[in-house]
Amino acid sequence: MIDYVSGSLAGKKPTEAVIDVGGIGYRILIPTSTYERLPEPGEDATLLTHHHVREDAITLFGFLSTEERRVFEMMLAVSGIGPKLALAALSAVRPSEIRQRILEGDAAMLTRIPGIGKKTAERLIIELRDRFEKDGGDVGESTAGGVPPDGNFRADAMAALEALGLSRSAAEKAVIGVLRKDPSIRNAEEIIRLALRS
């Protein structure tokens, strides 16, 4: 199992990062919350990873905080939740909020996450409430330094929304709608969260 990857950040997109470790580039799928805090390409980066193996694919999922990885892995234990859906959930909602909504039994809020319907939301609550209570959780944070969001926040938000399944026109409409309501927003992560909730 690969627990973390540390090296030079070779490239990043809202849904993935490539880290060069001794001349080998590891492509790692990430939530937008991690993307926002990654350094610029060429700088050193460390991502905590979940090494996912299937018959037809080996995939690395990466996170800057232990809380993101913990919630991701707990969600994978729920029947009907795959890694892409768990990643989309973390792109739409902060891990601490997912935890809180599950503890409160708030299925309505969970159904606002793309791909999660009423039955899946109820299953998440039933299967994870006790685990979250025992786990206690830490809203503990990153293992690599954060950086301010870059000026391409609109394009990044649109690219992430498209990667999460929206058409280009729907992603553009969502981003414009969010920025009309709150023109002061200047980071892709917040735009994506608000767009997915509307």
Phi–psi pair at 81, nearest 5 degrees: -110, 115
Contact 124, 86 (CB under 8 A): no
Q: pLDDT means per 10 residues in the chain (198 residues)?
A: 91 94 95 90 94 89 92 90 90 87 89 87 89 63 41 73 80 83 80 82
What's residue 40's pLDDT?
Answer: 93
Cα separation, 193 vs 161, whole angstroms:
10
pLDDT at 193: 82
Question: Which residues, at least 6 apart from 82, have a Cβ–Cβ distance to it below 8 Å?
Answer: 76
DSSP 8-state secondary structure symbol assigned to residue 149: P
C-alpha separations of 164 from 15, 84, 89 in Å: 9, 9, 10
Which structural domains are found in the chain, ordered by start?
4-63 (2.40.50.140), 66-135 (1.10.150.20), 153-197 (1.10.8)
pTM of the full predicted structure? 0.68
